[in-house]
Structure 1
Amino acid sequence: MDHEKVNILLVDDQPAKLLAYEVILKDLGENLVIASSGREALEVLLKTEIAVILVDVCMPELDGFELAAMIREHPRFQKTAMIFISAIQVSDIDRLRGYEMGAVDYVPVPVVPEVLRAKIKVFAELYRKTRELERLNHELEDRVRARTAELESSTAKLRESEQRRSMAIAAGKMGSWDWDWISGDWMWDEGQYRIFGVGPEGFEVNPANVQALLHPDDVDQLRKAIAEFNKGTRAYETEFRIVRPDGEVRWCVGTAAATVDESGRVVRVSGVTVDITERKRAEERQNLLAREVDHRAKNALALAQSIVRLTRADEVKAYVNAVEGRINALARVHTILSLSSWQGAELSRLIDEELAPYSLGDQIRLAGPEVQLLPATAQTLALALHELFTNSAKYGALSTRSGRLAIDWQVENELLTLNWEESGGPLVMTPKSRGFGTRSLLASIESQLGGQAQFDWRAEGLLCRLEVPLTRKMATTTPGKFDTAGSAELQRASG
């Protein structure tokens, strides 16, 4: 290899998974260091320079989140890249928790070798380049110090030139300028012209033209800076906006320093300008994300509160099981929505998630097109399906091996119609009262979504039809033999 190898720490309590990671990453040509527990990983970090840490979220004694928190507390590892591997679907809250602990990425199980190699390669290369940059910076600092020592005997003009050059370098060469306080002459470098969106061939640098490019609300910043230097201030820094000739508004931060003569009078002001527009936009996106997370968390807590408050049961165990089942259904749909960045969820995916705990084989038949649901619709429909599956598994067709369930759906004029047909199970009788399941199903489908939940209590099995508008418009249906007014749970409501 033509580059210096870096150390990659693999942390997992399962030897088989560690071996798999080694096989996947060996072609990168880096040094792979193994740790079978969080405590062993900490010991390795104290003895070895690590570029990237690949850590399993779920480990005994010390899990991935706790390990990440302990690593971040050590000053040496404040910027060490950590990638979490999770064999379970994590929620938005868990993702944010991981990022707060210092994770730079998540890798779900099963691991895709090409994806894992690519992620590790990026952070290993970033670490290598960072170290190289640090070495170059040290060399540059040594050279600057040596050069400064040589120039101490030079003329004042050479010292001023060196000062301007050093400031431009310190600012990342984004843009530098110089203003002769006595003659009024200005000097801009290429970066300064680029930031302001003008060119030296068509723009004359003078106070009037510069002021014309400042945002009207920030013009006073220039006047304030001049006043401060007249009062004896030697350095000034501020954020301001500019309006380019094409109308684009950019955010900048400007730093200026004054040079004085022997009498203390200002003779020159030099400075640098850095475009911070992307940083400002990132801050706005972060604030928006925080508000969105807060909104979704409040909605989820409100649903959970309703579940806990309205659930009824004759004994504690039944109550706990009912509440856990409904909250788990809510968690499953949240996982599906998080994978789509809360853009929506497929109806078939919701049904598959509710089917997963039962392993009923050929007892269930599904038929219908792919339907993309809005987030709010997906949450409501997931809870409704959970109630239907739970009651069927307890008292209906899915409670016996001879029972059968057919689910089909279609969409017409933005109206989703889902038919639920049970057969071959215990004899069905129309229930006399409604439990939480039916009440929540009717309220959510009819009140929240503007649809209908219709039941036909046939002796051979329940027939249910859910009509859900895919937009906010109220569904219009013609009642047939279905009983919407007397809908209730199966024979013995689960509470």
Structure 2
Amino acid sequence: MDHEKVNILLVDDQPAKLLAYEVILKELGENLVIASSGREALELLLKTEIAVILVDVCMPELDGFELAAMIREHPRFQKTAMIFISAIQVSDIDRLRGYEMGAVDYVPVPVVPEVLRAKIKVFAELYRKTRELERLNQELEDRVRARTAELENSTARLRESEQRRSMAIAAGKMGSWDWDWISGDWMWDDGQYRIFGVSPESFEVNPANVQALLHPDDVDQLRKAIAEFNKGARAYETEFRIIRPDGEVRWCVGTAAATVDDSSRVVRVSGVTVDITERKRAEERQNLLAREVDHRAKNALALAQSIVRLTRADEVKDYVNAVEGRINALARVHTILSLSSWQGAELSRLIDEELAPYSLGGQIILAGPEVQLVPATAQTLALALHELFTNSAKYGALSTRSGRLTIGWQVEDQVLTLSWEESGGPLVMTPKSRGFGTRSLLASVESQLGGQALFDWRAEGLLCRLEVPLTRKTAATTASSKFDEASSAELQRASG
């Protein structure tokens, strides 16, 4: 059988002996490495993997015993086989010394070729078998490590999978259960207990206790499910409510599947329960929002319809501009309220939105604290401010570069007082009759908000004072139908 050759180191200071050893050992078919001194042998050992060392005991400088001692001091060569060749008669003491130095055998001179070959062959095969065993052992250890690592990874993946499943169940507010149809035994996981608001220590899972946690109006769902499975159904799904021990009502959806025996008889029912309370609440909020949006859209359209119907102008262009301006004012405040989810609007934001189209740097001075207006008040004031800005831009202080406008406001005893003071514009004369804008402003502030709108037509500029209660019920009602009905009625009276 083919085998890997091993290296045999021959150490002797006499070339003739080395040649003789080579001739004797050539038949073994191994690699023969020659060293003519102890130091040369040490150098070769450090560079080459040696299976057997054949060394002469009597050598100058470094004899066989000394070389053996130096070889054994190196951890790498502590188990390397060494055979001593001695040309002199060795005593038992010499043999003992040689064995202490690490020799495994002695060969006397004259050397018998067959004996030397047999001894070298035995240790060469032993070296080869040892290396093969080390290799197999290493492979076995590698396979064991790989298998262990694979098992550890598999265990880690299973653990991670279980953790993800548990997290998914917890995040999805899910629970699983199992019902032995024959024995009546139930099994709930942690998610199921969590959904029902009970603990495994204090709650015994049985039909009576489970039924006690169901909403009275949904108990029939459980009875119906049992009846369906008795009729041969294999799956069932339904929505139901539970009442936790603390009184909280939760919505759930339950899905169950039956396991049957060879005679198609149900033997086990397993299922999953999902807490859908948040989804139900979201659906309710969505439906409420849809109704609210529909209501607000109708209110806005009604107000826009009133604006279109009641606006007066001598020319079509003026009419279009007036309608567009008032509807745009309504749209701007609607946007502000939408951004706040219809919670309200800042007064300063309403003013900024109305004065933005004019780009009048330095002509307008604003002074007042932050005031949060409820939606109905914000809508009414936005239209009132629009009328004031529009009239000022047409006839008042904002119609000239020299004009100045000061808007100030304050809140005292839940009453908002806003002052509008113009100066530096064209000469002001008290109007003989009030236009639509002024009449609608008065009507909306006084009738809709329960406030007052006072006008002082001074020659140097208009002075307007608006007083608006912030706590009046109508002001706190967000886009209610009463608000819009009042808007339409007052606008009709204002146009009369």
Map Cα deviations across residues 115-142 of structure 1 (whole Å, 9 max, x no partner).
9999999999999999999999999999
Shift of 1:325: 0.8
Q: Matched residue of 1:343: which SS?
A: coil
Do the aligned partners of 2:11 and 2:54 also contact (CA within 8 Å) in 1? yes
* More displaced stretch, 141-150 vs 464-473: 141-150
Q: Matched residue of 1:153: which SS?
A: helix
Shift of 1:477: 26
Structure 1 portions without partners, runs of 5+: none
User: Residues 186 and 492 (structure 1 numbering): CA distance in 2 closer, same or farther, change over 3 Å?
Assistant: closer
Shift of 1:369: 2.0
Shift of 1:17: 92
User: Residues 164 and 329 (structure 1 numbering): CA distance in 2 closer, same or farther, change over 3 Å?
Assistant: closer
Do the aligned partners of 1:151 and 1:159 also contact (CA within 8 Å) in 2? no
Identical-residue share of aligned pairs (%): 94
* More displaced stretch, 168-177 vs 410-419: 168-177
Distance in structure 2 (CA, Å) of the matches to 1:173 and 1:96: 82
User: Residues 412 and 222 (structure 1 numbering): CA distance in 2 closer, same or farther, change over 3 Å?
Assistant: same
* More displaced stretch, 383-392 vs 85-94: 85-94
User: Residues 316 and 93 (structure 1 numbering): CA distance in 2 closer, same or farther, change over 3 Å?
Assistant: farther
User: Residues 383 and 221 (structure 1 numbering): CA distance in 2 closer, same or farther, change over 3 Å?
Assistant: same
User: Residues 362 and 288 (structure 1 numbering): CA distance in 2 closer, same or farther, change over 3 Å?
Assistant: same
Distance in structure 1 (CA, Å) of the matches to 2:305 and 2:86: 29
User: Residues 33 and 444 (structure 1 numbering): CA distance in 2 closer, same or farther, change over 3 Å?
Assistant: farther
Distance in structure 2 (CA, Å) of the matches to 1:89 and 1:348: 121
Map Cα deviations across residues 279-318 of structure 1 (whole Å, 9 max, x no partner).
1111112112212211221221121111101111111111
Distance in structure 2 (CA, Å) of the matches to 1:98 and 1:406: 118
Q: Matched residue of 2:410: which SS?
A: strand
Do the aligned partners of 2:374 and 2:477 also contact (CA within 8 Å) in 1? no
Shift of 1:163: 21
Q: Matched residue of 1:366: which SS?
A: strand
Do the aligned partners of 1:438 and 1:488 also contact (CA within 8 Å) in 2? no
2:477 alignment partner in structure 1 = 476
Map Cα deviations across residues 341-381 of structure 1 (whole Å, 9 max, x no partner).
22222222211221111122222222222222111111111
Shift of 1:5: 54
Distance in structure 2 (CA, Å) of the matches to 1:391 and 1:92: 134
Identify, as 1 or 2, the structure richer in helix: 2
Give the TM-score normalised by the residue count of structure 1: 0.60
Distance in structure 1 (CA, Å) of the matches to 2:495 and 2:93: 30
Map Cα deviations across residues 125-160 of structure 1 (whole Å, 9 max, x no partner).
999999999999999999999999999999999999
* More displaced stretch, 314-323 vs 111-120: 111-120
Distance in structure 1 (CA, Å) of the matches to 2:118 and 2:308: 45
User: Residues 172 and 307 (structure 1 numbering): CA distance in 2 closer, same or farther, change over 3 Å?
Assistant: closer
Shift of 1:218: 1.0
Distance in structure 2 (CA, Å) of the matches to 1:435 and 1:89: 145
User: Residues 151 and 484 (structure 1 numbering): CA distance in 2 closer, same or farther, change over 3 Å?
Assistant: closer
Higher Cα radius of gyration = 2
Do the aligned partners of 1:344 and 1:378 also contact (CA within 8 Å) in 2? yes
Shift of 1:454: 1.1
* More displaced stretch, 172-181 vs 373-382: 172-181
Do the aligned partners of 1:312 and 1:319 also contact (CA within 8 Å) in 2? yes
1:487 alignment partner in structure 2 = 488
Give the TM-score normalised by the residue count of structure 2: 0.60
2:467 alignment partner in structure 1 = 467
User: Residues 244 and 428 (structure 1 numbering): CA distance in 2 closer, same or farther, change over 3 Å?
Assistant: same
Map Cα deviations across residues 46-66 of structure 1 (whole Å, 9 max, x no partner).
999999999999999999999
User: Residues 198 and 443 (structure 1 numbering): CA distance in 2 closer, same or farther, change over 3 Å?
Assistant: same
Q: Matched residue of 1:179: which SS?
A: strand
Do the aligned partners of 1:152 and 1:159 also contact (CA within 8 Å) in 2? no
User: Residues 374 and 250 (structure 1 numbering): CA distance in 2 closer, same or farther, change over 3 Å?
Assistant: same
User: Residues 308 and 240 (structure 1 numbering): CA distance in 2 closer, same or farther, change over 3 Å?
Assistant: same
User: Residues 37 and 264 (structure 1 numbering): CA distance in 2 closer, same or farther, change over 3 Å?
Assistant: farther
Shift of 1:204: 1.7
Shift of 1:383: 0.8
Distance in structure 2 (CA, Å) of the matches to 1:364 and 1:83: 114
1:397 alignment partner in structure 2 = 397
User: Residues 261 and 97 (structure 1 numbering): CA distance in 2 closer, same or farther, change over 3 Å?
Assistant: farther
Map Cα deviations across residues 306-337 of structure 1 (whole Å, 9 max, x no partner).
11011111111111111111111111112222
Do the aligned partners of 1:431 and 1:491 also contact (CA within 8 Å) in 2? no
Distance in structure 2 (CA, Å) of the matches to 1:220 and 1:253: 15
User: Residues 480 and 167 (structure 1 numbering): CA distance in 2 closer, same or farther, change over 3 Å?
Assistant: closer
Shift of 1:181: 1.8
* More displaced stretch, 148-157 vs 13-22: 13-22
* More displaced stretch, 319-328 vs 401-410: 401-410
Map Cα deviations across residues 58-92 of structure 1 (whole Å, 9 max, x no partner).
99999999999999999999999999999999999
* More displaced stretch, 309-318 vs 93-102: 93-102
* More displaced stretch, 50-59 vs 335-344: 50-59
Shift of 1:198: 2.0
Distance in structure 2 (CA, Å) of the matches to 1:441 and 1:57: 128
Do the aligned partners of 1:311 and 1:319 also contact (CA within 8 Å) in 2? yes
Shift of 1:339: 2.4
User: Residues 343 and 161 (structure 1 numbering): CA distance in 2 closer, same or farther, change over 3 Å?
Assistant: closer
C-alpha RMSD over aligned residues:
35.6
Do the aligned partners of 1:456 and 1:483 also contact (CA within 8 Å) in 2? no
User: Residues 58 and 153 (structure 1 numbering): CA distance in 2 closer, same or farther, change over 3 Å?
Assistant: closer
Map Cα deviations across residues 166-212 of structure 1 (whole Å, 9 max, x no partner).
99999979222222222222222222222222222222221111111
User: Residues 71 and 321 (structure 1 numbering): CA distance in 2 closer, same or farther, change over 3 Å?
Assistant: farther
Structure 2 portions without partners, runs of 5+: none
Shift of 1:461: 1.9
1:25 alignment partner in structure 2 = 25
Shift of 1:227: 1.3
Do the aligned partners of 1:421 and 1:461 also contact (CA within 8 Å) in 2? yes
Pair 1:407-2:410 in alignment: no
Shift of 1:392: 1.1
2:41 alignment partner in structure 1 = 41
Do the aligned partners of 1:11 and 1:36 also contact (CA within 8 Å) in 2? yes
2:180 alignment partner in structure 1 = 180
Q: Matched residue of 2:489: which SS?
A: coil
* More displaced stretch, 124-133 vs 225-234: 124-133
Do the aligned partners of 1:241 and 1:251 also contact (CA within 8 Å) in 2? yes
Shift of 1:102: 85
User: Residues 291 and 351 (structure 1 numbering): CA distance in 2 closer, same or farther, change over 3 Å?
Assistant: same
Map Cα deviations across residues 241-270 of structure 1 (whole Å, 9 max, x no partner).
112222222211111122222222222222
Q: Matched residue of 1:485: which SS?
A: helix
2:152 alignment partner in structure 1 = 152
Distance in structure 1 (CA, Å) of the matches to 2:59 and 2:320: 27
Do the aligned partners of 1:404 and 1:422 also contact (CA within 8 Å) in 2? yes
Do the aligned partners of 2:243 and 2:249 also contact (CA within 8 Å) in 1? yes
Distance in structure 2 (CA, Å) of the matches to 1:112 and 1:434: 144
Do the aligned partners of 1:434 and 1:489 also contact (CA within 8 Å) in 2? no
